Each structure stands twice: as C-alpha cells, then as structure tokens.
C-alpha cells in the first residue's frame, strides 16, 4: 500500500450502466480501498508526503515555543527548549547523563580481582573495603552540559556550563558567561584550571572600552618570566630565590622598611639613600665598599684623597659619649670647644700615669684666661 498521497490509485472504476448490481459493487470496492489508503497514509505521514516548497515552510517556522526532548529510562537526557514572544527570545540546549560510573559487570565472585574496581554481580554492587568485598550502594555520576542564550530589551547573555558530580570526586564545574546589558559588557570564566595556549592580551587603561582594574589572587599565580612596565605590591613581595642573572630595580622606585640582606651594593658612583636609621647586625657590624655616606646635603663621611676618614658638616660635628682616637689631624685649623657652662677635661683618666704633651720646641702655646696648675691659679 502506498505511503504517499501522490501514489494513490485515484482512477474511478469503469461503470457501464448495463449491470447496476455489478456497477454498485465496483463503486463500493473502490471507496473501501480509498479509505484504507487514506488511513494508512495519514498514520504514516512523513517528509516524503510534502513537496519541497511546503516542506521548507513547515520546517522553517515554529511559532511561540519549541521543546524537543530525548530521554532514556536510566535518566540520560538531551533537550532543546526555545521561546520567542513579545518580551524575550531564548534558547537552551541541554545534555545530561546520569548512570553508573566505573562498574564492571561479572558473572561470578571469582572475577573480582582488581581492588580498585566496582563490580556488579547478580544485581548487587561490590567494593573492596581493605579486608574483603562488601556490598555498596549503586555508584552514580551526573554530567551536565548546557548552552543558554537570552535576548530582550535590556541586552543579551550567553552562558556555557559544564559540570560533573562523581560518587567520590564530588562536584567539579566550569562556566563561561558573556553578557552585554544596559550599555555594559561582562565576561566571566570559572574553572579549576584555565590554560591559555597562545598569546593573550589584556586591555590597557588607554585602550578603547577598557576600564577598572584586573585583580588576580597572588596565591594562584605560577609563572616563569614576567615582562612588565610596573608591578605594585600592596603588602610585601617574597622570593624563595633569585638566580640566573641580575634583578634590576630602579632605585627611585624603591622605598621600604627593614631590609635583611647578605649584600647591598651600589655600582661605581651611584649612591644609596636611607630614610631611616641603618641597623647593622651586632655579630658582624661592618659596611664595606662605601666611599661616601651622606646624611643630608650638608653632612657626609668620606675617605679623603690621603686615605683618612673625613667628617664634614656645615653645622659642626657633635660626639655624645666617649671618643677613643689615636690621632686627630686636620690640614687646617682645629678647634676643640664646649658650650657655655660646661668644662673640657684633658688627661683625667684615673688609675694610670699619663704624659700629656702640647706643642713642640717650635710651637707657640697661647693660654687665655685663668690658668690653674695643680689647682693653683698662676
């Protein structure tokens, strides 16, 4: 029997009119055959029953909504849901699988040889508990993948979501969301690990459409070489070790608190400035390789051309406490003085005999004011 209306035998039977009974029987047989052909065709209607033009029109337009679902008894599902009305247009494509994970079906207990597997025997599931095989609940896993699109008067949004829930592994999920709503665009990626295989460019503040700040959790950065014009640290920067070259930092860009270092050096004539007291390790209080220490523009300590330690200050040098030196020398005049109301003592250390010499045979010694020798005014 034909399955297409185009192939139905529609020719009317030959009725001569000579035998009314015979003619009536032919007409009835024809009507019965036509009814059966129509019933069969309408019950088995398909794309072959329509011409090409009508088929395009039928398959190209779905008014209102669309819901196509394919589902198994076990719970696996594939679904396409579409909506279009005066308020919104949306489309969702969903694939979902729910079933047993990592199960090996066997016919006898002797086949349970791998303690890392789960076995299905006579409708029961068995796992190894460390000492023997025991019955356990049916192991299941659920995997979901979906694509959702949405567009309305305020903007558009696309969401891609993939998730997996295993019996032992728990939930793992990755998503990618794009949206352009109310004049602002947004993109978000969420995953345990994101790999950029090629060259990746992040927009700079001066780029068209760029705004805001890119925030990255420092605890989640593992990298090799970083090439940047500027790196800022809100709290501190820790390095387990720097090797294989030289780390160059512009001195004008460095300001810090306490530094604990095995070595601090300045190349040639460039200088190092300390804005707070310089603390040295008491076990090894030494500074080497420094030609000049500037305390400000008018005070400095340096090694002069003769190899002597030279202290120069526009306001003078004040020493608080004991000063132990073997020789005080100056190419010019030397003035040793104390403020008004204070005394100057020379050679007053007790317990030893001292020889104090002032001048030589060619020197002229000038004493101004009262002079006492052994307590007697001279």
Extract the tokens encoding 35.
């009814």
The whole-angstrom distance between residue 257's C-alpha and the CA centroid of its chain comes to 28
Q: Say if pTM beats, i.e. exceeds, 0.75.
A: no
121-155: per-residue pLDDT in tens? 998 888 889 899 999 887 777 889 999 999 999 99
Residue position matching structure tokens 């005014």:
377
β-bridge partners, 96: 77, 144
State the CB neighbour count (10 A cutoff) for residue 41: 19
Amino acid 69: pLDDT? 85
β-bridge partners, 170: 166
Cβ proximity of 145 and 125 under 8 Å: no
Give the residue, 165 or 274, on which the prediction is more confident.
165
341-364: per-residue pLDDT in tens? 888 888 777 777 778 888 888 888
Mean pLDDT for all residues in the chain:
77
* Band (302; pLDDT cuts 50, 70, 90): confident
Question: Which string of DSSP letters, residue by residue, matches 301-341?
Answer: EEE-TTS-EEEEETT-----S----S----SS-------TT
Question: Which string of DSSP letters, residue by residue, matches 8-59?
Answer: S--PPP---SS-HHHHHHHHHHHHHHHHHHHHHHHHT--GGGS-HHHHHHHH
């Amino acid at each position: 029997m034909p399955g297409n209306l185009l192939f139905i035998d529609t020719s009317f039977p030959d009725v001569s009119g000579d035998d009314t009974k015979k003619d009536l029987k032919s007409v009835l047989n024809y009507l019965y055959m036509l009814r059966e052909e129509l019933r069969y065709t309408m019950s088995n209607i398909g794309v072959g029953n329509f011409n090409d033009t009508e088929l395009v029109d039928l398959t190209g337009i779905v008014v209102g909504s669309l819901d196509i679902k394919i589902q198994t008894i076990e719970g696996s599902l594939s679904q396409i849901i579409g909506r279009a009305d005066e308020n919104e247009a949306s489309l969702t494509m969903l694939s979902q699988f729910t079933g047993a994970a990592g199960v090996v079906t066997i016919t006898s207990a002797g086949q349970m040889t791998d303690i890392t597997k789960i076995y299905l025997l006579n409708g029961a599931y068995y796992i190894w508990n460390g000492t023997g095989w025991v019955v356990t609940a049916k192991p299941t896993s659920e995997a979901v993948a979906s694509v959702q699109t949405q567009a309305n008067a305020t903007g558009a949004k696309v969401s891609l979501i993939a998730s997996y829930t295993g019996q032992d592994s728990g939930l793992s999920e990755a998503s990618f969301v794009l949206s352009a709503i109310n004049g602002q665009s947004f993109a978000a990626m969420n995953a345990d690990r994101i790999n950029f295989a090629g060259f990746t460019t992040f927009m700079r503040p001066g780029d068209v459409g760029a705004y805001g700040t890119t925030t990255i959790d420092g605890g989640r950065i593992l990298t090799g070489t970083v090439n940047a014009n500027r790196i800022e640290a809100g709290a501190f920067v820790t390095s387990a070790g720097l090797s294989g070259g030289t780390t160059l930092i512009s001195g004008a860009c460095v300001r810090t608190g306490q530094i604990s270092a095995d070595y601090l050096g300045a190349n040639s004539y460039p200088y190092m400035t300390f804005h707070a007291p310089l603390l040295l390790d008491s076990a090894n209080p030494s500074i080497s390789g420094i030609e000049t220490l500037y305390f400000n523009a008018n005070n400095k300590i340096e090694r002069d051309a003769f190899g002597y330690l030279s202290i120069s200050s526009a306001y003078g040098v004040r020493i608080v406490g004991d000063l132990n030196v073997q020789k005080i020398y100056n190419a010019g005049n030397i003035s040793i003085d104390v403020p008004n109301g204070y005394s100057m003592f020379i050679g007053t250390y007790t317990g030893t005999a001292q020889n104090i010499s002032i001048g030589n045979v060619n020197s002229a010694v000038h004493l101004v004011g009262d002079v006492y020798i052994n307590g007697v005014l001279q």
